[in-house]
Chain A
Amino acid sequence: MAAQGGAAPSTYTPTPTKKTQRSPFFSDSDVDWLRPDGRGFHQCRPACGFTFNLLGCCDLIVFTYAGMFSLSLLSSCAFFSVLYSYMKGFFRTGAVNSAAGSAYAEFGNTKVIVSVFGPRESKKAMVYSDVGRLNCNVSYTTFANPARGLGSDNKEFSSMLHKALEGAIMLETFPKTTVDVFALVLESGGSDLPVVISCASLALADAGIMMYDLVAGVSVSCLGRNLIIDPILEEESFQDGSMMITCMPSRYEVTQLTITGEWSTAKLNEAMQLCLDACSKLDKIMRACLEEAASASQD
């Protein structure tokens, strides 16, 4: 488990600022309640600390993935090295060789891979457009959920991904063309959409698409009187409400915000602050990942 709010960008857990303000959410009987993975309520999933068990599970997924989608041997090897040498990082760019840009993200049990293709010529049926188009697709594998699903496209997430990224990309730099962003959730472990969005913005950066800023996404769940950041699947299925923020941390602009459930003003502000704080930390990790990839390619 990562230490809370360390100076090194090892995790994007927000710094516990106004402790006194937060106390109402942690009073009385709620204190003895623990999260299934032993984290604090305001702690994000750690950057490092995979157990052996988890790693074995990853291998399985990589094998199945490579088999199912007939990735080239080369790219699956690259993928392996990602997992072994980058156990400490959440993100890794360049996971798929054939794509213009790609990224892989792993947060606890949530594992996501995003490929970016293009900019390439828009389909003939499309009307002329002097700004570029962004085409987003989020799909789940059949084995992503505990119960075997259909592995279908998720229309809601696809449109949310589009809305979250749209504002960050300089669409006018590639007129008449389309950039495709394909996200695949290998394993759903909670907070899928924010991870997909952060991973997709990293893949776009890897593809060299011009952007105003990276987009980082974080979600918060509300369970009873507690606010829980970066919820896992079990927590999400019992949540009373949720909030997801995707923002461009350097510009301090929110590109997408969704809220469900009933929220009082105080709680709303608290959750927003928590999310924004975590977003800026997540941004540092994403940048570090890009810098590392850039310096590695120079060597």
Chain B
Amino acid sequence: MVGLSLGEKHFIQGGIDQNLRSDGRKRDTYRPISVETGVIPQANGSARIRTGATEVIASVKAELGRPHALQPDKGKVSIFVDCSPVAEPMFEGRGGEELSTELSVALQRCLLGGKSGAGAGIDLSSLIVAEGKICWDLYIDGLVISSDGNLLDALGAAIKAALSNTGIPRVQVAAGASGDEQPEVDISDEEFMQFDTSGVPVIVTLTKVGRHYIIDATSEEESQMSSAVSVSINRKGHICGLSKRGSAGLDPSVISDMISVARHISEQLINKLDSEISAAEADEDEM
């Protein structure tokens, strides 16, 4: 919770009206983003994203499992977010649960596509090892370390970076298993498969304060919002998911406008993020 005086509220709202926010940014400027990959050696892939005082970590763990009976040719991906009390005392105990669920659901909606698996940022059929029998289960975990607004976008970016950092061991399936028998597998610890993350969308949240919308809002600015729309957009400019927060209703034409603004901003963000991720991976290789 952000406790602001009336004067501070007016200052923030006035700044946004005049396109000059409290930290000197314009309405459509991001805070500098820094990306670090491979921060968790135990995970198959991980990344840390820092933007302003917001800091999140995403890790990807892969386990062998059985594919779903209805979709024998696809692997499974699940996303969970944990809000640590390290970030804010109100997250202690069950306090962070509501926010965690909200973020997890929004990320699942934005990154995993429809029920049939179409439109997913991650190619689920690349996770299959033996059709109908063995597949990779990806567990994507997000952790909020420090919270200063724009958590969803940061988590989305962290997951994208973690996925491009992920190496999944190559698996040899022993031939000769017949019928319902589970085949024996041999997991290589030297050969790794890399993901194609070009299709993973980025999430752009537009926060509506007064008549204007801003991107990358800080928590002070978020406390003044009437509503916020998070749009996930891939490189092709297609919408991959959308969720709305905040109580105020929006005119449908405003939503359409917000989507087109988000699409425009996403192009810059994808390019920015890709260059940051490749720089981070180059750093990691050097070490």
Q: Which residues of A contact B (CB under 8 A)?
A: 155-156, 159, 163, 166-168, 222, 236-242, 247-248, 251-265, 268-269, 272, 276
Contact = CB atoms under 8 A, between A and B. Distances in A.
B259 A254 contact: no
Given A238-B115, A263-B238, A272 B101 contact: no
Determine chain B's interface SS by DSSP, over half rule.
mixed
B204 interface: no
Contacts of B96: none
User: 9 shortest A-B CB distances, which residue pairs?
Assistant: A253-B249, A262-B119, A261-B114, A240-B118, A259-B242, A261-B119, A166-B247, A241-B114, A240-B114
B243 interface: yes
B116 A253 contact: no
A166 B251 CA distance: 16
B266 to A, nearest CB: 13
B244 A258 contact: yes
Contacts of A256: 244
A276 B229 CA distance: 18
Contact of B244 (A248, A257, A265): A257
Contacts of B112: 260
B241 A167 contact: no
Interface string B57-86: 000000000000010000000000000000
B259 to A, nearest CB: 7
B137 to A, nearest CB: 20
A255 B254 CA distance: 12
B40 interface: no
A167 B118 contact: no
A167 B70 contact: no
Contact of A237 (B70, B113, B249): B70
Contacts of A260: 109, 112-114, 119, 241
B150 interface: no
Interface of B: 70, 98, 101-102, 105, 109, 112-116, 118-119, 229, 234, 237-245, 247-252, 255-256, 259-260
26 contacts: A156-B105, A166-B247, A167-B248, A168-B249, A238-B116, A239-B115, A240-B118, A252-B252, A254-B249, A254-B251, A254-B252, A257-B243, A258-B244, A259-B109, A259-B239, A260-B109, A260-B112, A261-B118, A261-B240, A261-B241, A262-B119, A262-B238, A263-B238, A264-B239, A268-B259, A272-B252
A211 to B, nearest CB: 12
Given A159-B101, A254-B249, A265-B237, 6 more contacts: A159-B98, A168-B249, A240-B114, A240-B119, A260-B114, A272-B256
Contacts of A163: 244-245, 247
A256 B260 CA distance: 18
Nearest to A238: B116
A265 B237 CA distance: 9
B78 to A, nearest CB: 14
Contact of B251 (A155, A236, A253): A253
A258 B252 CA distance: 13
A236 B255 CA distance: 25
B109 A167 contact: no
A55 B156 CA distance: 47
B116 A247 contact: no
B156 to A, nearest CB: 15
A78 B6 CA distance: 52
A159 B102 contact: yes
A255 B255 CA distance: 11
Nearest to B117: A240
A273 to B, nearest CB: 8
A268 B262 CA distance: 14
Contacts of A258: 109, 242-244
B241 A259 contact: yes
Nearest to A251: B249
Contact of B249 (A247, A263, A265, A276): A247
A241 B118 contact: yes
A269 to B, nearest CB: 7
Contacts of A272: 252, 255-256
